[in-house]
Amino acid sequence: MEPVEPPRLPLLLGVALGLLCSAGLTRSLTITSVDQSMFEKAQGERVTLPCTFELSEEDEGPLDIEWVLIPADNQKKEKIIIMYAVDRIYNHYYGAQTGRMAFTQNDPKNGDASLDIQNLKAEDTGTYQCKVKKAPGVQSRKIQLTVLVKPARTKCSIEGSQEIGKDVTLKCASQEGSPLLSYDWRRVSGTNELPATSMLNKDTGELLLKNASQEYSGLYNCVASNRVGTDECSVQLNVTPPVNTAGIIAGAIIGTLLGLSVLTFLVFCCCKKHREKKYEKEVHHDIREDVPPPKSRSSTARSYIGSNRSSLGSMSPSNMEGYTKTPYSQVPSEDFERAPGQNPTFAPSKVAAPNLSRMGAVPVMIPAQSKDGSIV
């Protein structure tokens, strides 16, 4: 008889049971929060980065939990931002986030090591890694956080001439805001539809209005937006008829000529006044230096006596005949005072006519007087 083979089913069940037992013996720490790994938040908001875990009976070592910030540059080292070790929390490692971050639970050892970050800033953008250690188990999870800045300080402006028939450009730009920014224009007053000739560039925020007409006038509103917020501004457009440039140019020329005329007149007056002052100073100076002071009566009398003496001294003895000298008593002295109504009389000197002519005398006709002083 041929030998009967033992049934294989019990053997297979034993192998399977052994494998299950070995798997149960090696089961260790696991991280259970695996749903979301990317977060986008606006600046100033709050975010919770999840990190929940489960421990096994085989994990007997001390529990260590740490959050690190992985820089985009691989050459830079990781930065520890918060840590839990030996039943104590350490959150002073990263100064930029000190006071703005904390564990969601006061005691992370209960299986929740999620991280809360408040008042987010643009520099908080990066990759965060949660590490949980309990020997022999070690697990980690990475989460990408992007902090976006809402559009802010958006300004509207008009470029170009606001005249009928001209091309006008409405501009809109936000001074703050994370890319990608998108701009949209709408008309507030009248119909909300933009003019038919308008061309909008949503990336640059420019709205071109070609061949503008007065119907284009009104209030326009621009809305700047990105994935986390919006901001807006408004501008008033007034399309007017063309300005008379010829009249403006003529007025400017006339005004310039009038201004030059007034300036020339003022310069002429100043020069004339300056010359008059200079002439007065020169004349006053000449009078003070050239004109002698007036003589007194006594000096006049002395000059009269001296001139008579010099005239007599120049005569020769032959010319002295018939010359009658004037007594000195008849010459006014320094103390002589004339009586009112009386004129001093001097005896005429008798000098021959030829001698007088040589002396340079000029003949003068003198009326004859009587003894009582009347003219004959």
Question: Using one digit for the tens of pLDDT, what is the confidence trace for 274-330?
Answer: 877 777 776 665 555 455 555 555 444 454 445 544 444 444 444 444 444 444 444
> Cis omega (within 30 of 0) on the bond before 19?
no
Nearest to 69 by CA among 93, 36, 87, 104: 93
For 4-20, the pLDDT digits (tens) are 444 443 434 343 433 33
pLDDT score, position 189: 83
Q: How far is CA 306 from the centre of its chain?
A: 89
- Per the structure, the complete domain to which residue 172 belongs is given by 152-237
CA–CA gap between residue 217 and residue 222 (Å, rounded): 16
Domain-terminating residue out of 129, 148, 167? 148
pLDDT score, position 214: 92
Residue 184 near residue 260 (C-beta atoms within 8 A) = no
Residue 141 near residue 31 (C-beta atoms within 8 A) = yes
CATH number of the domain that residue 164 is part of: 2.60.40.10
Instruction: Enumerate residues 6+ apart whose C-beta is below 8 A from 160.
Output: 166, 167, 168, 169
pLDDT score, position 72: 72
Residues 167 and 89 in one domain: no
DSSP 225-245: EETTEEEEEEEEE--BPPP-H
Looking at residues 192-215, what average pLDDT do you find?
Answer: 93
CA–CA gap between residue 116 and residue 124 (Å, rounded): 12
Domain-terminating residue out of 218, 237, 256? 237
Residues 167 and 224 in one domain: yes
Q: What is the mean pLDDT of the chain?
A: 77
Q: Phi/psi of residue 121, each to 5°?
A: -125, 160
Looking at residues 94-118, what average pLDDT do you find?
Answer: 88
CA–CA gap between residue 167 and residue 144 (Å, rounded): 47
pLDDT score, position 23: 40
pLDDT score, position 13: 39
Nearest to 323 by CA among 359, 276, 362, 372: 359
pLDDT score, position 373: 55
pTM for this model (two decimals): 0.52
Lowest mean pLDDT among 37-46, 108-117, 167-176, 342-351: 342-351
Residues 209 and 99 in one domain: no
- pLDDT surpassing 60 at residue 235: yes
Residues 124 and 166 in one domain: no
pLDDT score, position 32: 93
Is residue 90, in this structure, part of any structural domain at all? yes
Residues 144 and 36 in one domain: yes
Number of domains the chain is built from:
2
pLDDT-based confidence at residue 151 (cuts at 50, 70, 90):
very high
For 59-81, the pLDDT digits (tens) are 888 999 999 999 777 777 888 89
Q: What is the DSSP letter of 335?
A: T
Beta bridge partners of 313: none
Beta bridge partners of 69: 79, 128
Looking at residues 121-146, what average pLDDT do you find?
Answer: 92
pLDDT score, position 292: 57
Is residue 233, in this structure, part of any structural domain at all? yes
Residues 84 and 167 in one domain: no
Is residue 311, in this structure, part of any structural domain at all? no
- pLDDT surpassing 60 at residue 250: yes
Looking at residues 23-36, what average pLDDT do you find?
Answer: 72
Is residue 61, in this structure, part of any structural domain at all? yes
Residues 143 and 164 in one domain: no
Instruction: Enumerate residues 6+ apart whose C-beta is below 8 A from 304.
Output: 331, 332
Residues 36 and 90 in one domain: yes
What percent of the chain is modeled with pLDDT above 70?
Answer: 66
pLDDT score, position 274: 80
